[in-house]
Structure 1
Amino acid sequence: MTADDQTTEQPVESLRELAQQAAVLKLLAERVAAAQKDVRKRTQLALDSAAERDGVERITAKLPTGEAVATIGLRKGETGPVVTDEEALARWVRATWPDEQWTETRIVRTIKPWKLAELLGEMEAAGAPKVTDKTTGEVHEAPGVVIKPTRARTHGITWRKGGKDATAEAWRSGALAHRLAAITASEEDTA
């Protein structure tokens, strides 16, 4: 055995410790992911209610000591045009601009992707499924398109300077033990 072989081999005890650490971290990651999904859903519902009821759109996250570590705030959703009947829209584009090559016929008529993006952009800017003919100035109602939410409202966490370190220290010191106990509890404990 060469010196290089000795430096790359893991002692058996070290491998056991790594296996234990891998198993513990895997379980913790699974439990944290499930808890995060649950608290994210409940936080969104609470923020939506507070925004509707009181106009509150952000809240400060504080440690048990009262130290502010982060701000949780609503992020606006987006609304825009959504094609609900592509065939009807393609027929309308072809009938409205028959001399243009913006559509193509396959089994059904479709709109070329670049033109569809352009039309939807105009509808989004108008806030309605309407398109203005640039040649005639005529405003057309586009069939097969509705304006509706395209991305749900959500929330995000903005950490304050030093907030992550303070939270990690509160976790290490046990100050957050009551908050984190449910994450590590067995399934029988929570039933």
Structure 2
Amino acid sequence: MSAEQPVESLRDLALEEAALDLLAARIAAAKKDVRARTQRALDAAAQRDGVERIAAVLPNGAQVATISLRRGETGPVVVDEEALARWVRRTWPDEEWTETRIVRTVKPWKLAELVAEMMAAGAPKIADKATGEVHDVPGVLIRPTRARTHALTWRKTGKAAVAAAWREGQLTAQLAALTAPADTDAA
């Protein structure tokens, strides 16, 4: 026979859920803010000194993680589908790569092929395979397609070390925003 477990108080559960909800919202806001500040600092350090990674180190000197810069990507982005569709139709009038609706559009499979060719060329240009003529493609620009960002990589015992440091009060300054009064608390 097993010993009877005490029944949890519904009031205690309600309070725990409310407290965790508030904490989760504050953590999400604090994480978004620190990621933006870290990205700006990494971008500045990379431009100034060539720094692309930084260690996350506890006050006791233990390294718990590494934050590494990830480069953004650029590539062709269709900014005017109608202009692109008109150009595809004029350039290859015998092909059925476009379809007419209210406006002319390029069929998705062909658009994917054209974008891949422009990505390989690094410019909004397409070489006609039949004639060899190189066309400037209207309605397409080379733009950032993925923002420059950063990644956090934990060391094997990093999470446990951070949890211990938190319990021991070593991260008070870094986590002050989680318990500070906020205007949104009144809502």
With normalisation by structure 1, the TM-score equals: 0.89
1:72 equivalent in structure 2: 67
Structure 2 counterpart SS, 1:45: helix
1:172, CA displacement in angstroms? 1.1
1:58-137, aligned counterparts within 5 Å? 58-137=53-132
What is the alpha-carbon distance in structure 2 between the residues aligned to residue 164 and residue 126 of structure 1? Answer: 44
Distance 2:16 2:90 in 1: 66
Equivalent in the alignment of 2:177:
182
Task: Identify which of 45, 52, 59 aligns with 1:50.
Answer: 45
Structure 1 residue ranges (4+ consecutive) displaced by more than 3 angstroms after TM superposition? none
Distance 2:173 2:84 in 1: 57
Corresponding residue for 1:4? none
Q: Deviation digits for residues 28-69 of structure 1, max 9, x if unmatched?
A: 111111111111111110000001111101100000001000
Q: Secondary structure at the match of 2:164?
A: helix
Inter-partner Cα distance in structure 1 for 2:129 and 2:174: 60
**Are 2:31 and 1:36 equivalent residues in the alignment?**
yes
Q: What SS is found at the alignment partner of 2:153? A: strand
CA distance in 2, matches of 1:30, 1:105: 48
Q: CA deviation at 1:182?
A: 2.4
**Secondary structure in 2 aligned to 1:146?**
strand
1:151 is aligned to 146
The Cα shift of 1:181 comes to 2.2
| Cα distance in structure 2, aligned partners of 1:179 and 1:107 | 56
SS at match of 1:18: helix
Range moving further from structure 2, 134-143 or 55-64? 134-143
CA RMSD of aligned residues (A): 1.7
Structure 1: 5+ residue stretches without partners: 1-6
Q: Distance in 1 between matches of 2:103 and 2:62?
A: 62
User: How high is the TM-score relative to the length of structure 2?
Assistant: 0.91
Gaps of 5+ in 2: none
